[in-house]
A and B are shown apart, each in its own frame.
Chain A
């Protein structure tokens, strides 16, 4: 009956499940909401939303489903914080344009005017010179001709969505304020630590033995644990630069948090695809390069190789000599990758981009083939699979 609400929520990125939908139906049947629309809204909210960050999205989807409003592109639309706009302006405006903005009364005035207009405007608009919309000469909106133009939204986003975004919604402040993925990362860390203890149970576990003996009313019960080998050596190769920076930081933190569990943990950086040189200090990436051959000689085949990178690049960067965007490489990236995976007995590639999107990027497919399918997403499950693969 209300499946379109659930489907709408799911497509907006809310993790509503069938169980929750059935619960909602059950509650409706039991007459919790009776015949009031407001109560139904509250009930649906209590059933389908489990995190206050999602309340705002829920409000939007609910409005779309039950008021027949135009659909808003919930996923792409973001609130436009002033700082962000300011940054955008700094990035895209030439000094002359900045000066032109000054003629309109400076950035503050521009933002003030934008807010005013958004408050006045209640319908979609195209052309003209005052309203915010597309292809106009008003200072606000996309594809405008006014040098003071502030572009609202990217891609195909239209101003009507922008108005909705600026609409006052009660739970707006709760949207995405909490640090994301802490739980996931903690769990990943646990999995990574598990990686260290392997082999048969050969060591006496004293605390557990005492506990088991006590539980057995005094008769001895021996407990064994696998010896802590601490032999795992890890060589990390991290793609650095541009979009990868955040992921690199996350991965480095993750591995160094688990550092005590490894005998050795070494890391080197590369860009897009490993070639004949890597570096340790990204700020001095051009002065202090280390030949990849040296890495191969220094760290023996017993190291586990973990490469972290989004793998999104031009296919030439992988399979052509001289394909690198940074320098002239004598041998193709694929040659180097094969050399690395051939040298190390266990290797894996961690990819921070979502697994579903891998199929659309040709270079990722090529890399995955080169890794013989050992590319894993940077998620708890992915790390789990990776550690299984690496400790086989």
Chain B
């Protein structure tokens, strides 16, 4: 069967491949969770690319309503047209604005829908989409029409775990938790992103990176995306690998740490540790 595999740009572990393939085969949504920056959103892009499907992205905000993904009825412009005596006003379907899911259902070929950060929305949001995602159809109340998917789209949903999702919703999904990559995988990831990076620089950078992740009490541990940004900076600045190697055993503030440590408490914590380590020597 045609399945999803790691690509030149995206390293997927075997369990992720199985989960994606199961979701594609059975045409059920795949729910992806994991630390921020471990490539949840990128996954959808890569799956769409490797399966050769158009990608429809639906980014969820705290104000997003489930209905907006289906359709919206633009009452205000109808009211205005009604007052101006426009002929369009007689047909209510002129004022139905399609949502992302409608687009996906009506598409000529099978598409991939990404519902990004579903946990940002209201607590009832997943419940409101249960039937729509299960049957892949919905009813337009204003025009009394049922919109059913021509080809069941593949749905990938990401969550950052800010809210718990209802059981009924979870039951209909496949689930994958992206674990933080181990050193070996991380080397592969770096290799795929920057094939021409100097070996010694990458090694030193990874040492520093995993050291930082080990530091207890960090508010936001740097993740894959931060590492990749940082490496890019290091390459642009053309720093020698020696600049990363510390004479002290434990901690040192790495150059260009702004890419790795994203808030000042973490930087402070780090500076303090570095100071203590130096004094200890």
How far does the alpha carbon of A52 sit from the alpha carbon of B21 in the complex, in Å?
20
Residues of A within 8 A of B177 (CB): 52, 55, 171, 174
With A50-B175, A214-B75: A32-B22 Cβ-Cβ less than 8 Å: yes
Q: Is B173 positioned at the interface, with any CB of A under 8 Å from its CB?
A: yes
Q: Would you give the shortest CB distance from A185 to chain B, in whole angstroms?
A: 10
Binds A, one of B60-68, B161-169, B261-269: B161-169
With A55-B177, A211-B75: A20-B26 Cβ-Cβ less than 8 Å: no
> Which residues 138-178 in B have Cβ within 8 Å of A in the complex?
161, 163-167, 170-177
Q: Are B82 and A218 in contact (CB under 8 A)?
A: yes
Q: Would you give the shortest CB distance from B218 to chain A, in whole angstroms?
A: 15
Q: Is A217 positioned at the interface, with any CB of B under 8 Å from its CB?
A: yes
How far does the alpha carbon of A55 sit from the alpha carbon of B14 in the complex, in Å?
16
Q: Is A23 positioned at the interface, with any CB of B under 8 Å from its CB?
A: yes
Residues of A within 8 A of B21 (CB): 32
Residues of A within 8 A of B15 (CB): 42, 45-46
Q: Are A47 and B89 in contact (CB under 8 A)?
A: no
Q: Would you give the shortest CB distance from B124 to chain A, in whole angstroms?
A: 9
With A47-B174, A50-B171: A27-B75 Cβ-Cβ less than 8 Å: no
Q: Are A47 and B22 in contact (CB under 8 A)?
A: yes
How far does the alpha carbon of A55 sit from the alpha carbon of B15 in the complex, in Å?
13
Q: Which of A20, A42, A218 has the most CB of B within 10 A?
A: A42
Q: Are A51 and B123 in contact (CB under 8 A)?
A: no
Q: Are B22 and A19 in contact (CB under 8 A)?
A: no
Residues of A within 8 A of B19 (CB): 42-43, 46
How far does the alpha carbon of A49 sit from the alpha carbon of B79 in the complex, in Å?
49
Residues of B within 8 A of A39 (CB): 14, 18
Residues of A within 8 A of B173 (CB): 50
How far does the alpha carbon of A169 sit from the alpha carbon of B172 in the complex, in Å?
27
Residues of A within 8 A of B83 (CB): 218
Q: Is B135 positioned at the interface, with any CB of A under 8 Å from its CB?
A: no
Q: Which of B14, B22, B161, B175 has the most CB of A within 10 A?
A: B22
How far does the alpha carbon of A174 sit from the alpha carbon of B34 in the complex, in Å?
11
How far does the alpha carbon of A46 sit from the alpha carbon of B14 in the complex, in Å?
12
With A31-B1, A52-B177: A42-B166 Cβ-Cβ less than 8 Å: no
Considering only CB atoms, which chain A residue lies closest to B79 in the complex?
A214
Q: Which of B26, B82, B176 has the most CB of A within 10 A?
A: B26
A19-46 toward B: CB 8 Å interface, digit per residue (1/0)? 1100100110011110000110011011
Q: Would you give the shortest CB distance from A336 to chain B, in whole angstroms?
A: 40
Q: Would you give the shortest CB distance from A210 to chain B, in whole angstroms?
A: 10
Considering only CB atoms, which chain A residue lies closest to B89 in the complex?
A217
Residues of B within 8 A of A47 (CB): 22, 174-175
How far does the alpha carbon of A4 sit from the alpha carbon of B18 in the complex, in Å?
22
> Which residues 196-223 in A have Cβ within 8 Å of B in the complex?
211, 214-215, 217-218
Q: Is B28 positioned at the interface, with any CB of A under 8 Å from its CB?
A: yes
Partner pick for B14 among A42, A171, A183, CB 8 A cutoff: A42
How far does the alpha carbon of A50 sit from the alpha carbon of B28 in the complex, in Å?
14
Residues of A within 8 A of B161 (CB): 178
With A50-B31, A55-B177: A186-B170 Cβ-Cβ less than 8 Å: no
Q: Is A337 positioned at the interface, with any CB of B under 8 Å from its CB?
A: no
Q: Are A46 and B176 in contact (CB under 8 A)?
A: yes
A206-244 toward B: CB 8 Å interface, digit per residue (1/0)? 000001001101100000000000000000000000000
Q: Are A19 and B172 in contact (CB under 8 A)?
A: yes
Q: Are A183 and B164 in contact (CB under 8 A)?
A: yes
How far does the alpha carbon of A218 sit from the alpha carbon of B173 in the complex, in Å?
43
Q: Are A20 and B171 in contact (CB under 8 A)?
A: yes
Considering only CB atoms, which chain A residue lies closest to B13 in the complex?
A42
Q: Which of A20, A51, A186 has the most CB of B within 10 A?
A: A51
Residues of B within 8 A of A (CB): 1, 14-15, 18-19, 21-23, 25-26, 28, 30-31, 33, 73, 75-76, 78-79, 82-83, 89, 123, 161, 163-167, 170-177, 179
Known interface pairs A19-B171, A51-B175, A186-B123; 15 further A-B residue pairs with C-beta atoms within 8 A, sorted by A's residue number: A23-B26, A27-B26, A31-B25, A33-B18, A42-B19, A45-B15, A46-B19, A47-B175, A50-B165, A170-B179, A214-B75, A215-B75, A217-B79, A217-B89, A218-B83
A-B contact pairs, 10 of them (CB 8 A): A19-B171, A32-B18, A32-B26, A39-B14, A43-B18, A45-B175, A46-B19, A50-B165, A50-B170, A187-B123
Q: Which 7 A-B pairs have the closest CB atoms?
A: A50-B170, A42-B18, A46-B19, A42-B15, A217-B82, A183-B164, A52-B177
